[in-house]
Amino acid sequence: MRARNVEGGLEGRRIDALAASECAALVDKDISPIDDIRCTELYRREAAAVLFKDAFQTAWERARC
């Protein structure tokens, strides 16, 4: 999946914790989760933002080594 809004939010920016947090909020614009018996759309949106932030921070830490 490509998150174009997130890409745009990162373009030309210094990579730091603030950028990661702000871009995690942009994930919401790039997904269209559903409600079903397992969980709600809202939960999936919140989980996607958290997963993005965690993955982004891990990738950034690995790149800096």
pLDDT digits (tens, 9 = 90+) for 1-46: 889 999 999 999 988 889 989 999 999 899 999 999 999 999 999 9
- What was the pLDDT predicted at 2? 87
- What was the pLDDT predicted at 55? 93
- Grouping H, G, I as helix, E, B as strand and the rest as coil, residue 53 is helix
Q: Could you tell me where the DSSP H helices lie in 1-65? A: 4-10, 17-30, 41-64
> Is 24 in contact with 57 (CB distance < 8 Å)?
no
- What was the pLDDT predicted at 34? 94
pLDDT tens by residue, 52-65: 999 999 998 898 87
Q: How many domains would you assign to the chain?
A: 1
- What was the pLDDT predicted at 6? 92
Q: Which domain covers residue 21, as residue numbers?
A: 4-64
